[in-house]
Amino acid sequence: MNEKMIQIPFASQEEILALHAGDEVLLSGTLYTARDAAHKRMSELLAKGEPLPFPLENQTIYYLGPSPARPGQVIGSAGPTTATRMDRYTPQLLDLGLKGMIGKGRRSEDVVNAMIRNGAVYFAAIGGAGALLSKAITQSEVIAWEDLGTEAVRKLTIKNFPAIVVIDAAGKSLYT
């Protein structure tokens, strides 16, 4: 396989535009995890005009709620959750500068339009491959909302994390 090596956060918009639906990639760098409960809290903070616990601009969110790490492990099982459930919150985050998302499953038309408008990319990680994907995560730190347990926001460092561009910044989707 000819995977493209991609560094995140992206250094330029051109790098995002060079990604096309169907590209297999290996992602390295840093990103933030957030799923249902964290998205709800972000949305509530934004509604009140308050700052988010992490910067959105140019960042990537991984829709992940990992299983607990055993002693000596960085993280437990760490595969993607269904992105579709985040669709209600996502356009607003894209308009605030979010550039990448990693998850699995379909996105709404509103999300795809916001991706095109802002030049963002949606990667699919393989659902149900959490043990394998955990090996590509080299650091994990809870940075907000520890009370949410698995749904807390984590900052992850990843190295050669396998993913597939499933919807690109032109709105082209690999899903039928």
Partner 1 sequence: MYAGSSRNVKEISAHRITQAVQELCIEANLSLSDDMKDALLQAQQTESSPLGRSILEKLCRNLEIAENEQIPICQDTGMAVVFLRIGQDVHITDGDLGEAVHEGVRRGYEQGYLRKSVVSDPIIRKNTGDNTPAVIHTEIVPGDTVHITVAPKGFGSENMSRVFMLKPADGEQGVLDAIVRAVREAGPNACPPMVVGVGVGGTFEKCAQLAKEALLLPVNAHSDQEHIRRIEELALEQIRALNIGPAGLGGTTTAFAVHIKTYATHIAGLPVAVNICCHVNRHASREITA
Cα 99 to Cα 95: distance, rounded to the nearest angstrom: 9
Is the CB of 30 or the CB of 73 nearer to partner 1? 73
Question: How many angstroms separate the most distant Cα atoms in the chain?
Answer: 47
Q: Where does this chain touch partner 1 (CB under 8 A) — which range of 11-19, 87-95, 108-116, 143-151?
A: 143-151
Is the CB of 97 or the CB of 128 nearer to partner 1? 128
Judge residue 147's burial from the number of C-beta atoms within 10 Å of its C-beta, 0-12 exposed, 13-18 middle, 19 or more buried.
Answer: exposed
DSSP SS3 for 129: coil
**Per this entry, what is the length of the chain?**
176
Is the CB of 40 or the CB of 155 nearer to partner 1? 40
115, 124, 153, 169: which one binds partner 1 (CB under 8 A): 124
Q: What is the residue type of 96? A: L
- The contact mask relative to partner 1 for 44-83 (x = CB under 8 A, - = no) is --------------------xxxxxxx--x--xxxx-xx-
CA-wise closest residue to 127 among 152, 159, 151, 102: 102
Cα 51 to Cα 49: distance, rounded to the nearest angstrom: 7
Please work out the total of residues on this chain that contact partner 1, with binding judged by CB under 8 A: 43
- The contact mask relative to partner 1 for 83-122 (x = CB under 8 A, - = no) is -x-------------------xxx----------------
Q: Does 128 bind partner 1 (CB under 8 A)?
A: yes
Q: Where does this chain touch partner 1 (CB under 8 A) — which range of 52-60, 109-117, 129-137, 138-146?
A: 129-137
Are the C-beta atoms of residues 104 and 174 closer than 8 Å to each other?
Answer: no
